[in-house]
Structure 1
C-alpha cells in the first residue's frame, strides 16, 4: 500500500478577519501547518488552531514566514542569513508555547509563501532556516519543495525531511513550481488535480506545464485551504487516494 501525508496551511485568520474552514479541513488532513503571526495568525488564532488540531490527533507544524501581514507573506524580501535564522527561531518559539501548553508535540516546520520559494532555490537561505530548526529542536522535521535546496539543507543539517508536492499547482520541467500569476500555475479543475496527485503518489512523476514528464518523489501533499472550493477539493482528493488504496498518515506516524 502506498502512503502519503496530507498537509494544510491553517490558522491563517487574523483578528476579526477569517480565512478558510480550518475545523472541516482538520478532519481530512494528517498534518497542519499553523501560521505563526508573521504572514497571518495571531495569539488567539494560534491557540485555537493548536487546540483543534490536537483534538483531531493531527500533527502540528510551524508555518514560518517573512514578516509581511499586508502581503500575506507572498512578497519576496531581501533578508540576510542571520535574519532568516532569527525570524525562524522567533516563530518556532511562539508556536511551541501553544503546543507545550496544550500538551502536544511540535512535529515539523514548513516555510510559507515567498520564504518557501526563496529557500527552494537559495542554498544559503535554506541552510539558515535548517540551522534554526536544528538549534531549536533537532527532532523536528523540515518540510520543503521536493528536490529543492531546502530539502538538501535539511538533510545536511541532520534533520528528518519531508519532500512536498502540490496537487493543485503547475510544475516546470526542472521540478520547480510555475510562479503564481503565470499560465498553468494553478489547477482549477478538481479532476485534473486529483489525477496529478495520484500520479505523484503512485508513479513518482508529474507532467510539467510544457508537457514533459518529470520524476518527483513526495512524502507529503499540500492542500490549500484559502480557495472558494478548497474544502470540496480536499474531500475529493482524500476519496481519490482512498479509492487507490493510498494510506494517509503524517510522516513518522506508525
Structure 2
C-alpha cells in the first residue's frame, strides 16, 4: 500500500438528502437538534479532527445558500468547499472527488446525517489503509437475519460473518478515483463506495465503530439523535 501523509484527508459529504421520511419539506441535513442543524454536528466533528485538511460538501442548488451560511458560521481554518450534486448519490460523490485537493492522499466519504461516529474512526481507518485499499466503519450484526419471498421466510442467514456498514468510508485517493471512473464507464451504480470497490477486486477492511453511529432518516432516528447529542455534547461538541 501507499505511504500516508499526515493531515491529508479530504472528507466528502454528500448532503442532498430530502426529509420525505421525516414528513417535512426541510432537507434532512438541515433538520434541527437543539437549534442547530444536523449538518452542523457532522461538520464540527470533522473540523476538530487533526487528520482532516478539507471538507467538500455536496448539495442541491436549493440548499446552496443555507450551506454557504452554515459553512461561514463555523469560522474554521479548515476549508469547507461547496459543490453542486448530481442525480444520484454516486454522481454527487464524484463531484466531491473531483473537487478534492490533489495532494491529499486519502478520501473519506461520509453521510451528512451521521454525526455520532466513534472518535477513533479516522485514525483507525488510516492505520488500516497501510495494508488495505479501503476501509469502512461498521458494527457486527446482532439481529437474526432472514431471507424472504414476500411474507414467506425462506432462509436464516448466518450472522457471524455479517457486518452493518456505516460511514465514514476511507480510500487511497487514487484508488477511489479509479473505482469511480470504472463504475461510470460500466454504467454501474452501487449503494456505497465499498460496493464499487468490491466489484473491481479491491481489498477492504472494517473499521470498528459503535451502534450509536446512526443515520438520521426517520422521526425515531431524530428522537434518538437528540438523546445522543445530550450524551456527547460536552465531549464531541464542547461549548454547545
TM-score tier, shorter chain, comes to 0.3 to 0.5
Give TM-score scaled by structure 1 length: 0.34
Give TM-score scaled by structure 2 length: 0.35
Asked which structure has the greater CA Rg, the reply is 2
Higher strand share: 2
